[in-house]
Chain A
Amino acid sequence: MSSAVTAGGRARRRTAPTRVPYAFLTPAVIFFVLFLLLPIGYTVYLSLRREHVSGLGLGAGARKEIFVGLANYRAALHDSELWRSAGRVLVYGGLLVPTMLALALLFALLLDVPRTRWRRFSRVAIFLPYAVPAVIASLLWGFLYLPSVSPIQWVLEKVGVHDVDLLSSTTIYFSLANIALWGGVGFNMIVMYTALRAVPREIYESARIDGASEVQIALRIKIPLITPALIMTGVFSTIATLQVFSEPTTLRPLTNSLSTTWTPLMKIYQDAFARDDIYSAAATSIVLAGITLVFSFGFLRLLQARAFGQER
């Protein structure tokens, strides 16, 4: 079997050498089509349809799938709850993304200072929370937030601070951002740190000879040189923020402050699986994907000129 294939292959090689790259691409293309294009296509298809019930809706054949054009999109765009959830995510992202990137950058710069000790240990210690799945992290933090089971609350009570509700409708933003921060700083730090290690050491040497302090080197040389890495982490964090789901979903049963539609993705999940309306959910998914695209491309556009200017 295999020799026949090899022989056939040799014969073909002489006549059509240009097919070789396609043969190599085939597995990737198959998977790309099967697991990305087809699902996206199916989502678009579903988003244009709806189930229609007649009468009581009981008995066989009472439900029919019908074509409804853009009605699901119109409903999604006019859904005030979707925009409210988007607003909540903006507040959450406004808290999270700058803090997370600033901390990650700070840690990366500190690790890159020549005199830093325990470098390997610190790197692993800061990175480790990233290895904890978001659901587990949220359960863990959930315990720390609930008043009567939380050691944080216990300590606060002992020092005379009473009735701090970490899950109230305002503090919930900070509590949620904190979970993502805990998990995300390490990853972003590694990306920035790797970019820093790729900078030729001679640049720092000449800066030092010119009399630059470590702080000046960090601000004037390191940060400008790793701007592409900063932008990349910025885009990734923004996308992750727009799609936040696991943390609020896991914390939701613990508090009255989180609704089942607190973030856009939770709303989509709710529509698809709690309300059995995959058609609206599909339309809203496409809308969310569109918004995410606009956000990330807008962000890139905004910064591209500065960051990659020298590459043009």
Chain B
Amino acid sequence: MKLALGAKLMAVVLGASLLAACSSGSGNSTTNQKVELTFWSWVPGIDKVVDMWNTAHPDIHVTVSKQAQGDEELTKVLTANQAGTPPDLFQAEYQALPTMVSNGVAADIKKYTTSAQSAFAPGVWQTVTLGTDAVYGIPQDSGPMMLYYRKDIFDSMGLQVPTTWDQFAQVAAQVRQKDKTKYLTTFSSGDPGWFAGLAQQAGSSWWGVNGTTWKVTINDAATQKVADYWGNLVKNGLIDKQPMYTPEWNKALNDGTLIAWPSAVWAPGVLAGNAADTKGKWAMAPMPQWNAGDNKTGSWGGSSTAIAAKSKHIAQAVQFAVWLNTDQAATSALVTNGGIYPAATAAQSGPALAQPPDFFSSQTDFYSLAKQIAGTAVGVTWGPDVNVTYATYKDAFAAAITNGTPFTGAVDTMQQDTVNDMKKNGFTVSSG
């Protein structure tokens, strides 16, 4: 009897595994007539946009899988790729693309994209070519940086909207003089992408390609200047030093403790979620400039739709990605449902952006101003280990803030760590 039970157990286990094998086998056999594509993305409401595609294209069916934003999805895609089952299409932040390419995840789709290129500004297109001859994605949204400020508080405190960083520092000091409970803004050790955008504006490009050599210049003069500037503001107590995206920060934005935020074009969505009480009280202006009369900005965030090199239907996947990011109806739906700022030039003055965002209802020229600013965003080349640089940013700047050491040292640490990591992995690297 005992053995019988044991044998039955074995039979059940074996049977179950056979069943599992059968059911996983049957998935592949039905793809002959209709192409099935999987798509990983974190854009809110992306499923509605994909539904539009699926209705219009019965032969290419796209299934969306909602993912966590940014690094978490990146990790998941890398892992899935290693397991041999990456999604056909995935959302990739611009700075993550080189990592994806270098790990063999993202496919070179140049031969399918000859007509799509003209829909984007050259600076935007550069972020998906990585400065090479290949094309690794279709740009979806961009994040040109601009200055957000509490118009009501600026007015009541008699503050001028700063147009240069010198003025920005003066305003920061005025705020502290007039009201000890308030800060102009905060320096966040938690947001490397934000600092990268500030450095781009000052003219820094952290990576570059020179033949077959990567050039890493994270601690160049421009970045040192930016780090030194913010380090002094923090050291002199002129601005706050708490990280962004914490309950504390939300409250500070909501109750007027923080009254300005150098951020990107997508900020209205964040403010609406994190500081709901301040609706209609904010205004947007171009970023302060390093030299009076300049007209430049950096980018914080922005992402593309990339296609997996292991996908069996690369041509169809590109067809979908191009539609998603250039088609008038699709980009409009992305704007309304996902709250993204489209990368395609035509879409930036599309009907969905005719009205200012709800949260900024009083600033009627919001999107025409945004389009102007977007045109001044400097192009950028990202490297294959931005993840390492970003991780080091968090620790190095957090330590500099807690220990009161110069920010320029933190930038040097980022440079060293990035170069060491690339050398360890065998990349050909030169610093400067």
Contacts and interface: CB of A to CB of B under 8 A. Distances in A.
20 contacts: A6-B4, A9-B4, A12-B3, A13-B3, A20-B6, A23-B7, A23-B9, A30-B13, A56-B132, A58-B130, A59-B101, A60-B104, A60-B309, A146-B247, A256-B243, A257-B398, A257-B402, A275-B421, A276-B103, A276-B387
| Interface SS of chain B | helix
A1 interface: yes
Contacts of A276: 78, 99, 103, 385, 387
Interface residues of B, number: 59
Contact of A9 (B3, B134, B246, B388): B3
Contacts of B98: 58
A254 B248 contact: yes
A78 B255 CA distance: 48
Chain A interface residue bracket vs B = 35 or more
A169 B75 CA distance: 30
Given A253-B245, A256-B399, A256-B401, 11 more contacts: A19-B3, A26-B6, A26-B10, A53-B427, A55-B427, A57-B384, A58-B101, A58-B102, A254-B247, A274-B387, A276-B387
Given A56-B209, A275-B421, A148 B248 contact: yes
Interface in B220-252: 241-243, 245-248, 251-252
A115 interface: no
Interface in A273-288: 273-277
B418 to A, nearest CB: 11
B150 to A, nearest CB: 17
Contacts of A54: 426, 428
A256 B402 contact: yes
A74 to B, nearest CB: 13
Interface of B: 2-4, 6-11, 13, 71, 75, 78, 98-99, 101-104, 108, 130, 132, 134, 189-190, 209, 212-214, 241-243, 245-248, 251-252, 255, 257, 309, 384-385, 387-388, 390-391, 394-395, 397-399, 401-402, 421, 425-428
A54 B212 CA distance: 9
A9 B134 CA distance: 64
A147 B252 CA distance: 11
B298 to A, nearest CB: 23
A256 B336 CA distance: 36
Contacts of B388: 274-275
A300 B202 CA distance: 59
B391 A274 contact: yes
